[in-house]
Amino acid sequence: MRETFLPFAKPDVAEDAVAAVAQCMRSGWLTTGPRTIEFEDIFKNYTGAKYSVSFNSATAGLHGAFAALGLKEGDEVITTPMTFAATINTVIFAGAKPVLADIDPKTLNIIPAEIEKKINSKTKAIAPVHFAGRPCDMAAIEAIAEKHGLWIIEDSAHALGAAAGARKIGKPGAKRAAVFSFHPTKNITTGEGGMVCTDDENMAEFLSVFRQHGMSKGAWNRYAAKGKTHYDILLPGLKYNMMDIQAVIGISQMKRLEAFNARRAQVVAKYMEVFKDTEGLILPPPVKAGDAHSWHIFTPLIDTDKLKITRDEFMKLMGGRNIGTALHYQAVHLFSYYQKTYGWKPGDFPSAEYVSSRIVSLPLFPAMTEKDISDTVEAVKEILKENKR
């Protein structure tokens, strides 16, 4: 058994980022400032979006994107049951009702035909989630949105570096926004942080104001020598801005993104090869031709029909061998608040429930060694073999 614990994810922060943070702290400028603007420009250039607006989390960015649509009570946003609660909660905080459409149990992404079934006169937007970094069927979703005049807010928290055909995720197009996460487990990190990419100038202007208490644009530097002392409140915003301390970490991380993602893909390729004939494990399918997967997480399903243990028991046994795992995610319609509020119940979204009871995230991060990979493989294979029906 492995002697030290292997986490399922681990950030890799270079020394230049450490030095840049120290420089920020010594400069006396810690909050939103020139380095945040620099990070936004780098991110915008990478994705190809016209505008990139930073936030202190992807959750804040999602809230801002939905709020920018002017949603009101009775409006609906269609999304997936296989996502983190933030996707649902931000729709609610923006004043609308989340509506769920079931997933493909293989790709784990929302099914476009299921979206179409849920559209009515109250529908204002579609919020696809690129699960694990695998792009949704955006051509089909875009066609549906255009047909019905709907916005698309892409929850791209997992998908930095992914692409749907020739379009890099984050290059939104008309009536579109994409929201990224920089949590420590993501493909790059700023400690905590998020970014909204859009080609819509009005949305970008709204987001810039919304994230800073609703203060008029430019008020962020009111304490600088040439800053504006007076400002206006243009709308009821919140305190959602990114700090320069976070941004300089992001600037460093963006230099390494392609290498990070390449290593993630290498680790996944090894997993796929060694696990291809492993009974008790259902592997993710190949990526659609022409698409690019960012491999934020590696999420096989534990085939409990062929085992004497549950997925949760599998995770506990992995922990006992010092191998970390994680659960992404319990289907949101199974949480008590949403059931009480929206009447969702078990059986409503069978594919999401099937996946939710079997999915597990195995260790995946750029700094994984060959021993880390082999230790993980050995533990998985031993547990599955020992617990065959």
Active site residues: 186
For residue 100, the cross-strand partners are 79
- Taking the C-alpha atoms of residue 24 and residue 368, their distance in angstroms, rounded to an integer, is 30
Contact partners, residue 154, CB within 8 Å, separation at least 6: 127, 128, 129, 130, 136, 169, 172, 176, 177, 178, 179
Residues 183, 159: Cα–Cα separation, whole Å: 13
Residue 126: CB atoms within 10 Å:
27
**Residue 388, SS3 per DSSP:** strand
Give the end-to-end CA distance of the chain in Å, rounded to a whole number: 24
Alpha carbon distance 312, 369 (integer Å):
26
Residues 41, 51: Cα–Cα separation, whole Å: 8
Length of the chain: 389
d(CA 188, CA 249): 9
| Single-letter amino acid, residue 60 | A
